[in-house]
Amino acid sequence: GAADFSPRQSTALLTSVGVGLLSLLGVAVGSYVLRKYRRTPVTLQDPNVKYFLRLLDKTTVGHNTKKFRFALPSANHILGLPVGKHVYLSARIDGNLVVRPYTPVTGDENKGYVDLVIKIYLKGVHPKFPEGGKMSQYLDSLKIGDVVEFRGPSGLLTYNGKGKFDIHPSKKSPAEPRVAKKLGMIAGGTGVCHPCVCPQCCWRLAWSW
């Protein structure tokens, strides 16, 4: 027949079961959080450090525009670039250090790589700029497997979603929260290709200031 338990025994049994369930739940939650953290290592951990990323692919998207795909340190890495921030690419060109800002067209939902869409300014095309663009021509000359220096996140603005921003009045000042119901944007050059996107029906701005 069924075992008889005194009220004290029943309370002790229920307490033991409850503690056991809470322990199992804690282990499960901790394991999930740990696995999630381990699955998403961040590339840009220090804005003052240069990260060397390898060119994976070069795709022509227009007569003077190309998409450059760079590999992150592993297939599980994300870039770690908040919306509104940008990166700096640097290279030694003709003996001089050249640094240019770029905003990727991929976000942290993409693991293992980062894409840049860049207009190539060639020599002898525009009379006002006879030498063309130093960095864009340098990138165009790269071969698959070549390495480029990335640095970031950089910029004075971060978009947190739902119209909420963090804005630094200057580089040395702390961020100030701002809220906007409407936002006007000017997209020029290759910037017109990706001023905003809507993944999972949740607006995400992809520009920098």
Pick out the residues of the known binding site for FAD: 100-102, 117, 119, 134-136
113, 56 Cβ separation under 8 angstroms: yes
Binding-site members are 100-102, 117, 119, 134-136
**Full DSSP string of 72-84:** -SSTT-B----TT
Report d(CA 51, CA 149) in Å as an integer: 6
Question: How many angstroms separate the Cα of 187 from the Cα of each of 190, 193, 195?
Answer: 8, 8, 7
| Cis upstream peptide for 153 (omega within 30°) | yes
Report d(CA 207, CA 195) in Å as an integer: 6
Report d(CA 85, CA 156) in Å as an integer: 7
> What are the structure tokens assigned to 47, written together?
């804005």
Buried b (16+ CB within 10 A) or exposed e, 106-122: bbbeebebbbbbbebbe
